[in-house]
Amino acid sequence: MSGPASWIPGTRLKVRISRGAGQDRWSLIDANCNFFIDGLEPGEYAVSIDDGKVILLETDNVIVNKDSETLISLSLQADSNKTTD
Give the burial class of 83: count Cβ atoms within 10 A of its Cβ; 0-12 exposed, 13-18 middle, 19 or more buried: exposed
Confidence (pLDDT) at 81: 52
Q: pLDDT tens string for the chain (85 positions)?
A: 444 443 456 678 899 999 987 789 999 988 888 899 988 999 999 999 998 888 888 998 899 999 888 888 877 665 555 556 5
Residue 43: count of CB within 10 angstroms of its CB? 13
Nearest to 51 by CA among 82, 75, 20: 82
Look up the pTM and report it. 0.72
CA distance 42 to 33: 24
Confidence (pLDDT) at 22: 79
